[in-house]
A and B are shown apart, each in its own frame.
Chain A
Amino acid sequence: MIGMVVEEVGTVIDLLHTYLIHIFSQYPFLKPLLIGFVGACVITGILFVAGMFVVWLERKFSADMQTRFGPNRVGGRYGQLQLLADAIKLFTKEDLVPETADIWLFTGAPIIAILSALMMAAGMPFGYVEVFGKQYLMAITNMDIGVLYVEAMAAISVFGIFMAGWGSASKYAVIGAFRSIAKMIGYEVPLAITVVSAAVMVGSLNFVDIVNFQTSLSFLGLEHVPAWLLILQPLGFFVFGVSLLADMGSKPFDQPEAEEELVAGWGVDYSGMRWALIYFSEYFHLILGACLFVLLFLGGWTLPFDMPANLTLPVFFGKVLLVILAVLVVRWSLPRYRIDQVQRLGWKILLPLSLVNLAWASAIGVML
């Protein structure tokens, strides 16, 4: 019975496939449009759900670290639906725009913030799915300059922050925005250099190539040892990790929104839906940053032995979850740096280290 149903579905999909191929052969411009549309919907949906999950995870996790309970009412004893309730509340709140705010910048900022996160997701592959013998790469696009594209899109988010800070016409927000820009300049440089050094070692800017390179050290005759860049470039791993934390605005580096000094920094005047968008975009950045980290340094969806294609997605997201948990541990167990100390760390420590790493990576890359 079940087999029959599967067969039926299979034939339907086959039919659809042939039909689509037919249409695309007639109207070739439709293909990227359709893939883009479907992909965008799927990715956005997944990201929102994942974002809510991560928010819930963080609340429970931090509560556990601090011997509190965390959400424990809505939707069961673990407060599973708390975030849904919060989201509904936020999305139905009154939409407030301060009188002195620059309305274009103020309303544009959340859009830019969330757009930057979604655009990041568009360039990232997440693994393979095998359906009826066909393997599909789970990515909206697989660009040859994927790494640079994702980097660039991640950096755009700072415009959203600056627009929010400047547009709110609040002093806290302006200070937060300035801090954000200063921090971004300080950390985007080592981040970019480490990404470049990863690409130099592999010899490609394509995520799939980078991931495949990390499968195992077979070129050295070690079949079952992972060739993760974590092992090949420990220095790069460190620099990238710290810079990424700073880029995500995670705890020791959350000066732009430092609650104790600037109330909520650049987001102080936002409420309701706009605030929810900004809030979610931060968590998207957390998730996608973790994805980037896994892709570049933890071998993506591969493990150092053969495995079926359908296992790639769980492996990938398992690794992402581990990275997120690591970020959460850091976030809830460290105090905050001061902005000048952050700058010092970025320019005086991370930048030289990233340059050293670049030299190391090019040397190894040439040898390989």
Chain B
Amino acid sequence: MMPMDEIKDSEMIVHLGPQHPILAGPFMLDLRLEGETVKEAEFTLGYGHKGVEKILEDRMYISCIPVTDRICYLASLSNNEVFCNCIEKLLDVEVPERAQYIRVILMELSRIQSHLIGLGEFAEFIGFMSMFMFLVREREDILTLLEMITGARLTHSFVRPGGVRLDLPENFKEKALKILPDFEKRVREDQETLESDEIYIERTEGVGVVPTSLAKEVGVAGPVLRASGVNYDIRRVEPTLVYKDLDFKVITATAGDTFARAHCRFEEIYESIYIIQQCLDQIPSGEVRAKLPKTLKPEGEVYCRVEDPRGEMAFYMIADGSPKPYRVRIRGPAYATLQALPPVLEGVYVADVPAIIGSMDGCTSEVDR
């Protein structure tokens, strides 16, 4: 941001945050405005910095898992997943196939609920309060399923090195197969309500465009990248677990605007439902957890990534053979996406700023990890 005395009389600096209705997690966005147009945007972060990387260095591997939950509470299962994945790779453990399927189910469920919250907030940011309520209502179904498996609604801590904590509950398959089609129908209804709205279209189409080249250059992740026309999904690029046996499309769009991003998220929800249904059909019986020693002492260096709801979540772990990790570096997708926000925000109207932030679906908790 420019120093104060260089700012013209017709301009002013408006702070979005750290306390602001649109921010679930605190960050500050300084906007230099001329009238209603944003001339420059700058982030200030760190209001909720947790120091997860340092905490992880001081924990036994198994006690790290609950900490990874807290990196982003909407994607806690994929954070568990990538952390355990690192340990498994270092220990060279084969995860039982049933556990792999359960993990895929969990990750997809968590993707659905995260997308629903993201879309709901996005709708709320352009003033569509009712849509937020509708989508949160649909999300309740998914949370019920997650709660059935893990016993928790937000921070699950369910994935373990070498498998998962528990097997699926007895009637899970029937219940899921009953809930999911109905759920999909209702989400499709909501999507139609939203996307057929004239004002919504006017507010989102052509707003906050991230062209393909820019998207690659600034390194945005996940649905934001795919909405800009880049076919890049870790589930396809570097399949972990049983993703290579499953059939799914990578949703892409070409427009790269806020409408396309929201659209991609909706489509990914349906794709995730399809994946879960396949998993429930194909899941074999058997063990859910490989036998591992009580104290894990992996050694080596590994870089693992999975497809988080927001994009590619990666952990870089250096283990030195002691019961605690030597260094864990967390590379979050929301961090990468949020970093790309200031260039996108230049030149837009101030009313579009919340819409663009909402369509990026940034998770401040993960950025401030």
**Residues of chain A at the chain B interface (Cβ within 8 Å):** 62, 65-68, 171-172, 175, 179, 251-252, 254-255, 258-261, 263, 332-341
> What 10 A-B pairs come out closest when comparing CB atoms?
A336-B127, A66-B133, A335-B128, A260-B354, A338-B351, A335-B127, A335-B126, A260-B125, A335-B199, A171-B14
B36 sits at the interface (CB 8 A): yes
A66-B134, A339-B36, A339-B351 are known contacts. Are A334 and B128 too (CB-CB below 8 A)? yes
B130 & A260 in contact (Cβ 8 Å cutoff) = no
Which of under 10, 10 to 19, 20 to 34, or 35 or more describes the interface residues of B? 20 to 34
List 14 interface pairs A-B (beta carbons < 8 Å), by A numbering.
A65-B130, A67-B133, A175-B33, A175-B350, A258-B127, A258-B351, A260-B354, A332-B130, A334-B127, A334-B128, A338-B202, A338-B351, A340-B36, A340-B349
Nearest CB in chain B: distance from A215 CB, A = 37
Bound Cα distance from A263 to B20, whole angstroms:
7
Selected contact of A335 from candidates B20, B22, B203, B353, CB within 8 Å = B203
A67 contacts which chain B residues (CB < 8 A)?
A: 133-134, 137
Bound Cα distance from A68 to B129, whole angstroms:
12
Selected contact of B21 from candidates A62, A252, A259, CB within 8 Å = A259
B351 & A255 in contact (Cβ 8 Å cutoff) = yes
A68 contacts which chain B residues (CB < 8 A)?
A: 133
Bound Cα distance from A252 to B352, whole angstroms:
15
CB-nearest residue of chain B relative to A262?
B350
Known: A252-B199, A335-B127, A336-B126. 4 other contacts (CB 8 A): A67-B133, A171-B15, A260-B354, A336-B128
Within 8 A of A (CB), among B306-359: 349-354
CB-nearest residue of chain B relative to A344?
B202
Nearest CB in chain B: distance from A179 CB, A = 8
A335 & B123 in contact (Cβ 8 Å cutoff) = yes
A252 contacts which chain B residues (CB < 8 A)?
A: 127, 199
Nearest CB in chain B: distance from A275 CB, A = 16
Interface centre among B12, B22, B33, B130 (most CB of A within 10 A): B130
B197 sits at the interface (CB 8 A): yes
B21 contacts which chain A residues (CB < 8 A)?
A: 259-260, 263
CB-nearest residue of chain B relative to A172?
B14
B352 contacts which chain A residues (CB < 8 A)?
A: 338
A66 & B36 in contact (Cβ 8 Å cutoff) = no
B184 sits at the interface (CB 8 A): no
